[in-house]
Structure 1
Amino acid sequence: MTAPNPSPPADLSVEQVQQRLRQQLSPIGDTEHIDLRQARDRVLAQDVVSPISVPPHDNSAMDGYAFDGACLASGGPVALKVVGTALAGKAWTQALQLGECVKIMTGAIMPTGLDTVVPLELTTSGADTVQFDASQLKTGANRRRKGEDLMAGQPALRAGQRVTPAALGLLASLGLQTLTVYRPLRVAYFSTGDEILSLGQAPREGAVYDSNRYTLTGLLARMGVEVIDMGVVPDQPAAMHAAFDTATREADAIVTSGGVSMGDADHTRAIMAQMGDVNFWRVAMRPGRPMAFGQLRSAADKKAWLFGLPGNPVAAMVTFLIFVRPALQRLMGYEAPAPVLLQARCTEPIRKRPGRTEYPRGIVERDTQGQLSVRTTGPQGSGLLNSMVQANGLMVLNHEQGDIAVGDRVEVMLFDGVI
């Protein structure tokens, strides 16, 4: 009598997979010192402490006249004598008497004893006087204080932050020319399977052109990693082993598509298991279910993290966005904020089985009332790549959620800035 087949392991929830990835991954640690002009989108490896205050002195927020705000106490008409002009980059150093003011340009240092600026458009001028209504201002108006943006000695940016264009400007305002950042992450990619055709090959029965190579390397390039494109690897043990060994030697991480399901014809799972400690997960999600994750070791004793994705085009992209992208960001040292999920009113019914997270492709629009609404792109098969082209986001139907009725609010993750 044969023993009964053991029950298959239960599917992992999306949250469980995300937690396991966070627990096992940490930044690669290698750093380099680069010029600020090359720093856009790089990840800071250490805190940047401001060497100066920004602004470095009290200055005028606009063109106008600087004066002592004590003269506003009357609350009525004010007339002041104009005794000179304070220009940006050239401080006014002479002392002023009560009832005097200086014409001042935006960014000019506030003269000693003066704390308020009246904008030009609120004044009328005589030969050497200026008049305005005190009721239109408060003491301290239109003055930028020293260190209002940042004080000397304070962290300007923290380790793990990405250097955005705004951050570049902030760092330049501190006079910093160089930064210490993590080196770029190196990620190898290849598709697997004898049925996969590279572009330029003649069509043949049962074969498909390799779309995953272009979607996934495109997503990787958007992240700012160094992509090692290894093309298509046939489903042959020797070729697979050689590809994994090369990728492990040259890259910090490896992304593959195809060959991680239970199909008997795939040698990918066996090679992965031979070369390292790899887990083959079934994830309670749609699209996407099979996924491999672990660490491979090359013949030269070099290690690399492996992310094996499903072969269906939409499943590969969604699995990348939900799991691989945040995992690679962690390896990059980037303390990425969680994706912002918007609430939108669903305009069609959607059947949803509790017990798995589903990601229908959605089109988000504003309805006639100005509120966000979302509808699916139509059929949601995991091979329908055109649906990802039509969509501008993914609906996020959570693990315990059931059917969606027309008018129900659902969460949406927009593609803008991701794809």
Structure 2
Amino acid sequence: MQIQDELTSVDDALRAMITLVAAQCTNPAQHTVPLLEGRGRVLAVPVHASIDVPPFANSAVDGYALRSADSSLSSLTVTGRIAAGDAAPATALQAGEAMRLFTGAPLPPGADCVAMQEDVDVEDAVLRLTRVNPASLRSGSNVRPRAQDIASGDVVLDAGQLLQPRHLGLLASIGEHCVTVFERLNVGLLSTGDELVEPGWPLQLGQIYNSNRYLLTSWLQSVGCNVIDYGIIADTPEASINCLERASREADLVISTGGMSVGEEDHIKTAVEQIGELGFWKIRMKPGKPLAFGTLGKHRKIPFLGIPGNPGAAFVSSLVFARPLISWLQGRGVNEASTEKRLQMLRPRPERMPAGFARDKPSIRRDFLRARIEDGRIVPFQNQSSGMLMSACWAEGLAVVPEHESVSEGQLLDFYRLGSFDDS
């Protein structure tokens, strides 16, 4: 790979990242975990239903099972009672007969509809359909048919699915008690900058607290990664090379913050070039211009992502670049044959919302504004500095102003809610 002198677009940069990992990185190993441990994991194999759901026709209401052909009769004889959990009787319902039924109870043989209990009168085992229009009691009325939700043999979830609580409930409904998932991704995280100090220590002149470590560690854990924390790396070539060499042996992905600019004390870029390859390092986006991607190691090549050290830029860059990269490496969408389709699937879908602001001067960079929705319109945080995190806590999402475009009041823009990155 060659470093590009010109600014690289967001889309081209992301496509180059994914193309590289698609060619050089295999899917993680698989293992089986109890179903309750599956949340936030990525399904490694498709799951086929071994049963019908529901496994039998059952009542959708409390009422009385009967034959729709008898709905016009003046009275019927109640011959029995079936509660949820009871087995259906072996004897079929005969003409003129009905049976007391509760929600979820199996239909007796011969019955094909259920009259709701509030529409009938019952006395001495005699049922009268006093408040029922006979035409409304058709075959299937108030009945959940067998396999209404899932048929045996159906693929209920495909490989590459991120498992959320609703998916675990679905798997439980077909009797699955374990699930085969990909191993968690081991992400090596390092911070650079002699100015950084850990919270809890007093600040000296020229120092700042290392917020990125806490921002990114907690975020990586929230998206299902194991974090290998390499701490703060000294601003020297030797410390940078030693840390990256160690990380290349221990991690599946390495993310660094800072050290990617062109200053004399920014050594990570040079260290990556010495022990691996670097692809691009100037992106046409704001915040987050100094961003790099490449590989570490000569034999076992692992991806490296260098994001800016400014906390606001680190926040935005992690959502725009690190999230789809991590999703790919976790095995998300592995069933997609096309790299391009899989990449599109991994990126969150924006809402189109009207701008509650105007901007006369277009920028050469794509602007990711930390913003929220007020009165149905996008309102950006007043201070969009790349060094600030208050905007990220105030915001509900990222509003995107495309490069080379001005913005007029009411113009529709893409708006990505922060939660959409969690599910992508």
TM-score, normalised relative to structure 2: 0.90
* 2:359 paired with 1:363: no
Partner of 2:241: 241
Amino acid at match of 1:81: T
* 2:406 paired with 1:410: no
d(CA) in 1 for partners of 2:120, 2:403: 63
Partner of 1:3: none
* RMSD, matched Cα: 2.0
d(CA) in 1 for partners of 2:75, 2:347: 55
Amino acid at match of 1:65: Y
Amino acid at match of 1:192: T
d(CA) in 1 for partners of 2:128, 2:398: 59
Gaps of 5+ in 2: 334-344
Partner of 1:305: 303
d(CA) in 1 for partners of 2:74, 2:229: 72
2:20 to 19, 24, 38: 24
Deviation at 1:263, TM superposition (A): 1.6
Pick which of 226-235 and 338-347 moved more: 338-347
d(CA) in 1 for partners of 2:67, 2:139: 8
Gaps of 5+ in 1: 1-6
Number of residue-to-residue matches in the alignment: 402
Deviation at 1:29, TM superposition (A): 2.9
* 2:125 paired with 1:128: yes
Which whole-Å deviations, capped at 9, do the CAs of 1:52-97 have from their partners, x for residues lacking one?
111111111121111111234x5xx753221111222221222221
SS in 1 for 2:419: coil
Partner of 1:382: 386
Deviation at 1:136, TM superposition (A): 4.1
* 2:7 paired with 1:11: yes
d(CA) in 1 for partners of 2:419, 2:317: 17
Partner of 1:204: 204
Given that 1:222 and 1:418 are in contact with CA atoms closer than 8 Å, whether structure 2 keeps it comes out as no
d(CA) in 2 for partners of 1:396, 1:249: 37
Deviation at 1:18, TM superposition (A): 1.8
d(CA) in 2 for partners of 1:216, 1:325: 11
Given that 1:344 and 1:411 are in contact with CA atoms closer than 8 Å, whether structure 2 keeps it comes out as yes
d(CA) in 1 for partners of 2:349, 2:183: 27
Given that 1:252 and 1:303 are in contact with CA atoms closer than 8 Å, whether structure 2 keeps it comes out as no
Partner of 2:55: 56
Given that 2:10 and 2:285 are in contact with CA atoms closer than 8 Å, whether structure 1 keeps it comes out as yes
Q: 1:324 to 1:337 in 2, by over 3 A?
A: closer
Which whole-Å deviations, capped at 9, do the CAs of 1:31-71 have from their partners, x for residues lacking one?
11222122111111110111111111111112111111123
Given that 1:71 and 1:78 are in contact with CA atoms closer than 8 Å, whether structure 2 keeps it comes out as no
Which whole-Å deviations, capped at 9, do the CAs of 1:244-287 have from their partners, x for residues lacking one?
12211111001111011122321111111001012232111111
Identical counterparts, % of pairs: 35
d(CA) in 1 for partners of 2:83, 2:407: 63
Deviation at 1:135, TM superposition (A): 4.1
d(CA) in 2 for partners of 1:274, 1:78: 91
Which whole-Å deviations, capped at 9, do the CAs of 1:298-357 have from their partners, x for residues lacking one?
7xx543211000111111111110011110010000125531312222222234525432
Which whole-Å deviations, capped at 9, do the CAs of 1:210-268 have from their partners, x for residues lacking one?
11111111211110110112211111122111211221111100111101112232111
Given that 1:347 and 1:374 are in contact with CA atoms closer than 8 Å, whether structure 2 keeps it comes out as yes
SS in 2 for 1:265: coil
d(CA) in 2 for partners of 1:78, 1:373: 61
Partner of 1:391: 395
In the TM superposition, 1:182-193 aligns within 5 A as 182-193=182-193
Partner of 1:117: 114
* 2:130 paired with 1:108: no
Pick which of 27-36 and 382-391 moved more: 27-36
* 2:84 paired with 1:85: no
d(CA) in 1 for partners of 2:74, 2:15: 65
Partner of 2:70: 71
d(CA) in 1 for partners of 2:5, 2:189: 29
d(CA) in 2 for partners of 1:389, 1:53: 46
Amino acid at match of 2:356: T
Deviation at 1:178, TM superposition (A): 1.8
Which whole-Å deviations, capped at 9, do the CAs of 1:172-224 have from their partners, x for residues lacking one?
12122222110110001111011222223332222211111111112111101
TM-score, normalised relative to structure 1: 0.91
Partner of 2:338: none
d(CA) in 2 for partners of 1:120, 1:111: 17
d(CA) in 1 for partners of 2:135, 2:245: 77
Given that 2:191 and 2:233 are in contact with CA atoms closer than 8 Å, whether structure 1 keeps it comes out as yes
d(CA) in 2 for partners of 1:333, 1:78: 62
SS in 2 for 1:307: strand
Given that 2:79 and 2:99 are in contact with CA atoms closer than 8 Å, whether structure 1 keeps it comes out as yes
Deviation at 1:391, TM superposition (A): 0.9
Given that 2:260 and 2:267 are in contact with CA atoms closer than 8 Å, whether structure 1 keeps it comes out as no
Amino acid at match of 2:167: A
d(CA) in 1 for partners of 2:230, 2:99: 68
Q: 1:8 to 1:50 in 2, by over 3 A?
A: closer
* 2:341 paired with 1:343: no
Partner of 2:35: 36
Partner of 1:272: 272
Q: 1:338 to 1:67 in 2, by over 3 A?
A: farther
